[in-house]
Amino acid sequence: MMFNGCSVRAPLWGAFSLVLAVAGCHHFDRATVWQFAKNNPTAPIMSLATLIAHNGLRTQRKIARVKNALDFQNNYLSSEISKKYIANAVQIANNKSAEELSVAALNDQDLLCIREVLNSFERMAIGIEIKAYDSKVLFRSYASTVLTVWKALRPYIRERQQSASYVYCHVDKLAADWMAKRDKKISRRDKAV
């Protein structure tokens, strides 16, 4: 029997093996399991309850990641201020050459705008990496925005990384992952047509 691509019997057998190991049985065959279950009628029920609880926890974690991603989306990326910052950052990057995107060449307002946008994307990337946010939800909503901003501001990011290599490294990794994912989706769509 299969459930979500995994055998249902394998975890169940693992739970019974764990119960047998705790009970001190070292030989795991069907007769031993049957004898153990006959002598300890609550052990299989406890094993099954453990598996159900584990599955419930996994489901709750996934729901929490999706909720956190939606909260991030609604609280930060959907605000008018952040939309303005993102639009300004893209405009700054598109209207200035790579040399003009240096820290020394940018005025304070432009630096604030660029840093605010990149820092928010860095927080999002870290949240995805530690599995606090669901990557699929944020990819569907913001892949094009993140990739557009990241490509436009790469000269600024590279300059910052020369002095501290860890700066915006999570955004770099996220952008590379999302570009590969986007390209894969596009190639699948083109093959289907």
Instruction: Work out the pLDDT band at 5, boundaries 50, 70, 90.
Output: very low
> 76 or 85: which carries more pLDDT confidence?
85
Which of 180, 158, 182 lies closest to 169 in space, CA to CA?
158
Q: What is the pTM of this model?
A: 0.69
Q: Decide if 33 contacts 20 (C-beta within 8 A).
A: yes
Q: What is the DSSP annotation of 12-70?
A: HHHHHHHHHHHHT----SHHHHHHHHHH-THHHHHHHHHHHHHHHHHHHHHHHHHHHHH
30 vs 38: CA distance, rounded Å:
12
pLDDT in tens, 163-179: 898 999 999 999 999 99
Q: Where are the domains of the chain?
A: 2-59, 79-192
The phi, psi pair for 107, rounded to 5°, reads -80, 170
Of 24-28, 63-67, 182-186, the least confident: 24-28
Q: Which residues of 147-159 are buried (b: 16+ CB within 10 A; e: fewer)?
A: bbbbebbbbbbeb
Residue 49: pLDDT above 90? no
